[in-house]
């Protein structure tokens, strides 16, 4: 493969709603350009870009896939991203390497959630884009209905660059409004220019005017000329569109049928003509961003985009994030799961290396010189406790999850020492289901999951005195320790307060710390439901000792008995963690979300409008938030987002506390 300069490279992410044909479109582009010998099918499991067993089984893309093609002197790197919302982390990886994007949409007047989400992502990252209305050959295909829906709801407002010739089974080509030429494509993907159909003349004239207006708005000089003369040349239209796309003011819409290879070549031409080249310095020091990590049978594969200079096979480069050096070994270009060896990957291009020792996603290879793009990793919103299905698999699970977390930054694995559970966090139930499937397939570990246990706390609601008495004096060395304590609540968050109120020598000074230790050990384990006690004041008031039989251990046991009795008589209370929650939803879902949060025992703190959206702030018990990621997705069809953080502890309602206490005491009855 010849070396391409940055000006001849296009790095293009493909985004959109699940099942709108993103992967099929990528396959069509690759096949039309001769990069693959046959066009695979996602339904048949033969797609070059969907090669994981989990993708074949579910018939959806799960991982970011990378491939490349050559066309008319350009190299186009395609970054095919998943459409299912659980795998948005892979979308973010693709966007970090992309300089432009294709938003794939179905020909329907109902704007899909995935299209909206992709638009928001591209607006946030300020990425230039084209819209591709795919599946123009399907029944009830409505290109103009889809276009009107996008123009009504999206900003920047899309404008038709291509018009379909025919529809549904009769779809046979497109009119290019930039060059005012028709292209009629045969089923083999070939074909050529043709006269614009006469019955489309008035429609073409109307839509051409919209394109010229959009081009004029993309360039101030062209706008001035357009206002003076009322028209622009084809070259000026192309220049204005390119400028408008770059600045985010213009978004052209193209139509095609990927499965029929109709309109695919005209799309490829538009990608090369209109989407931007990477801003990369060929003469600079070698620098590359690792934007994705993937484990295949050969080892861990690191995908990178070269920001400046060239990376070469067998070169040693510093990892600016890790403070270590990496030997690159054999470099290659990626074609789905295939590797195409190369001696170098140069500025603006995308390549990969295998078995790097310490490099992970978001690492910078080479000197840290100026800013570099970053993968924006979303935080986990759905958590499960995971445990082995078979004894002895704990190590397999821990090792496997650690490896999977290396390739998927949206997967979080932590051990909760308080609840003694291994917790996995992800972006939804499907995400974690896929993790379990990979864990079994790649690392031979089968696991079960359950809802994580809550880190409740215990405290007391009143004041009580109690005696702890541990006396055994029959035969041999005796045990003797007696203490009297008083327990009472403190202010929330004050913790454990110890006060020695003994006057005189009812308990010698050297045994009083033993009483405190016995109390602290019991407080740490809980008294009524097995959770740590907090926010209590314990006063040591009195006691008794024996000159021979008293010991540290005897007074520890006495302290433990005393705190159990006192806590039970002082009105035991369970506390639960409360989280501050911020939910961002389209305005039309505000009432449903507020109702849902109220039903979760939440307290609404306020709402705030945000450009057609509403931000809801509330405090909600953590126990009620465990499935909120799934509920929010269901209510808003995936449009809503939320963040949450721990705030404080509050008393659990009595009826809920009672069931927790009874369940614990039933489980532990007879064990002590």
The confidence score (pLDDT) of residue 663 equals 85
Q: Hey, what CATH topology would domain 576-655 get?
A: Alpha-Beta Plaits (3.30.70)
Q: What's the average model confidence in pLDDT over 405-413?
A: 93
CATH number of 6-274: 3.40.50.300
Q: Which one has a higher pLDDT value, 369 or 641?
A: 641
Q: Which one has a higher pLDDT value, 554 or 664?
A: 554
The confidence score (pLDDT) of residue 602 equals 96
pLDDT class for 475, splitting at 50, 70, 90?
Answer: low
CA distances to 111, 404, 405 from 412, in Å: 33, 10, 7
Helices (H), 444-551: 512-525
Q: What's the average model confidence in pLDDT over 260-269?
A: 93
Q: Name every residue whose Cβ is closer than 8 Å to that of residue 250 and which is 6 or more positions away in sequence.
A: 156, 159, 214, 215, 217, 218, 240, 241, 244
Q: For domain 458-570, which architecture applies?
A: 2-Layer Sandwich (3.30)
The confidence score (pLDDT) of residue 541 equals 96
Q: Among 111, 117, 143, 148, which Cα is nearest to 15's?
A: 117
Residues above pLDDT 70, as percent of the chain: 98
pLDDT class for 351, splitting at 50, 70, 90?
Answer: very high
pLDDT in tens, 300-338: 899 999 999 999 999 999 999 998 999 999 999 999 989
113: pLDDT strictly greater than 60: yes
Same fold, 382-450 and 576-655: yes
pLDDT in tens, 366-406: 988 777 888 988 999 999 999 999 888 899 999 999 999 98
The confidence score (pLDDT) of residue 231 equals 87
Q: What's the average model confidence in pLDDT over 492-517?
A: 93
pLDDT in tens, 535-587: 999 999 999 999 889 999 999 999 999 999 999 999 999 999 999 999 999 99
CATH number of 382-450: 3.30.70.870
Quote the distance between the C-alpha of residue 443 and its chain's center: 23
* CB 98, CB 125: distance < 8 Å: no
- What does residue 70 show for φ and ψ, rounded to 5 degrees? -120, 135
* CB 251, CB 217: distance < 8 Å: no
The confidence score (pLDDT) of residue 489 equals 96
Task: Show the 3-state SS of 194-258.
Answer: ECCCHHHHHHHHHHHHHHHHHHHHCCHHHHHHHHHHCCCCHHHHHHHHHHHHHHCCCEEEEECEC
Distance CA 273, CA 15 (A): 20
CA distances to 213, 433, 498 from 557, in Å: 86, 47, 17
Q: What's the average model confidence in pLDDT over 166-183?
A: 92
- What does residue 448 show for φ and ψ, rounded to 5 degrees? -110, 160
The confidence score (pLDDT) of residue 670 equals 55
The confidence score (pLDDT) of residue 188 equals 58
The confidence score (pLDDT) of residue 478 equals 85
The confidence score (pLDDT) of residue 96 equals 96
Task: Give the residue extent of every domain in the chain.
Answer: 6-274, 287-366, 382-450, 458-570, 576-655
The confidence score (pLDDT) of residue 187 equals 57
476: pLDDT strictly greater than 80: no
The confidence score (pLDDT) of residue 668 equals 74
DSSP, res 281: B
Q: What is the mean pLDDT of the chain?
A: 92
Q: What's the average model confidence in pLDDT over 145-154?
A: 95
Angle between helices 264-274 and 22-32 (to 10 degrees): 90
DSSP, res 533: B
pLDDT class for 671, splitting at 50, 70, 90?
Answer: low
pLDDT class for 354, splitting at 50, 70, 90?
Answer: very high
pLDDT in tens, 487-501: 999 998 899 999 999
The confidence score (pLDDT) of residue 297 equals 65
CATH number of 287-366: 2.40.30.10
Q: Among 471, 622, 499, 474, which Cα is nearest to 557's?
A: 471
DSSP, res 454: P
What count of other Cβ atoms lies within 10 Å of the Cβ of residue 626? 17
The confidence score (pLDDT) of residue 664 equals 84
pLDDT in tens, 624-637: 999 999 999 999 99
The confidence score (pLDDT) of residue 186 equals 64
């Amino acid at each position: 493969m010849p070396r391409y300069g940055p000006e001849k490279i296009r790095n293009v992410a493909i985004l959109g709603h699940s099942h709108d044909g993103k992967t099929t479109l990528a396959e069509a582009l690759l096949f039309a350009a001769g990069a693959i010998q046959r066009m695979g099918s996602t339904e048949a499991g033969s797609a070059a870009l969907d090669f994981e067993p989990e993708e074949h089984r579910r018939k959806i893309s799960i991982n970011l896939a990378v491939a490349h093609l050559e066309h008319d002197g350009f190299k186009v790197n395609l970054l095919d991203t998943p459409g299912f919302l659980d795998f948005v982390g892979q979308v973010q990886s693709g966007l970090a390497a992309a300089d432009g994007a294709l938003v794939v949409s179905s020909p329907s007047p109902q704007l899909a959630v995935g299209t909206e989400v992709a638009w928001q992502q591209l607006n946030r990252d300020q990425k230039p884009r084209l819209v591709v209305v795919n599946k123009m050959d399907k029944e009830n295909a409505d290109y103009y209905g889809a276009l009107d829906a996008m123009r009504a709801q999206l900003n920047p407002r899309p404008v038709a660059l291509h018009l379909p010739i025919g529809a549904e089974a009769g779809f046979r080509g497109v009119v290019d409004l930039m060059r005012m030429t028709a292209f009629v494509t045969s089923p083999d993907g070939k074909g050529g220019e043709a006269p614009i159909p006469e019955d489309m003349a008035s429609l073409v004239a109307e839509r051409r005017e919209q394109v010229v207006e959009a081009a004029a708005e993309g360039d101030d000089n062209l706008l001035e000329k357009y206002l003076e003369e009322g028209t622009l040349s084809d070259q000026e239209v192309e220049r204005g569109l390119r400028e408008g796309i770059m600045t985010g003011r213009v978004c052209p819409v193209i139509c095609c049928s990927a499965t029929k290879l109709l309109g695919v070549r005209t799309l490829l031409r538009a990608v090369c003509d209109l989407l931007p080249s990477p801003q990369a310095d060929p003469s600079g020091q070698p620098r590359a961003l690792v934007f994705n990590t993937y484990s295949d049978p050969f080892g861990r594969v690191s995908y990178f985009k070269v920001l400046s200079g060239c990376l070469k096979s067998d070169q040693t480069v510093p990892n600016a994030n890790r403070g270590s050096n990496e030997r690159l070994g054999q470099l290659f270009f990626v074609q789905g799961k295939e590797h195409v060896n190369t001696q170098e990957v140069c500025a603006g291009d995308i390549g990969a290396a295998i078995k790097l020792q310490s490099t992970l996603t978001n690492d910078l290879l080479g000197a840290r010189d100026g800013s570099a793009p970053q993968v924006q990793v979303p935080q986990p919103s759905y958590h499960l406790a995971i445990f082995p299905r078979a004894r002895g698999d704990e190590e397999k699970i821990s090792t496997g999850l650690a490896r999977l977390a290396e390739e998927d930054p949206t997967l979080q694995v932590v051990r909760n020492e308080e609840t003694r559970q291994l917790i996995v966090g992800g972006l939804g139930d499907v995400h974690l289901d896929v993790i379990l499937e990979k864990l079994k397939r790649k690392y031979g570990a089968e696991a079960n999951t359950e809802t994580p246990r809550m880190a409740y706390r215990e405290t007391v609601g009143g004041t009580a005195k109690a005696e702890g008495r541990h006396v055994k004096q029959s035969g041999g060395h005796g045990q003797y320790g007696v203490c009297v304590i008083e327990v009472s609540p403190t202010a929330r968050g004050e913790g454990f307060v110890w006060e020695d109120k003994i006057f005189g020598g009812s308990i010698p000074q050297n045994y009083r710390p033993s009483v405190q230790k016995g109390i602290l050990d019991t407080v740490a384990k809980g008294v009524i439901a097995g959770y740590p006690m907090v926010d209590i004041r314990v006063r040591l008031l009195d006691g008794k000792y024996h000159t021979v039989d008293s010991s540290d251990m005897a007074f520890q046991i006495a302290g433990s008995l005393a705190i159990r009795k006192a806590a039970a008589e002082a009105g035991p209370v369970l506390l639960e963690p409360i989280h501050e929650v911020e939910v961002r939803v389209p305005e039309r879902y505000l009432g449903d979300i507020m109702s849902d949060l109220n039903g979760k025992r939440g307290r609404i703190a306020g709402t705030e409008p945000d450009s057609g959206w509403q931000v809801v702030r509330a405090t909600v018990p953590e126990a009620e938030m465990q499935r909120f990621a799934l509920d929010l997705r269901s209510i808003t069809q995936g449009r809503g987002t939320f963040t949450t953080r721990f705030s404080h502890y509050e008393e659990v309602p009595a009826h809920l506390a009672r069931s927790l206490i009874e369940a614990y005491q039933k489980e532990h009855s007879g064990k002590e």
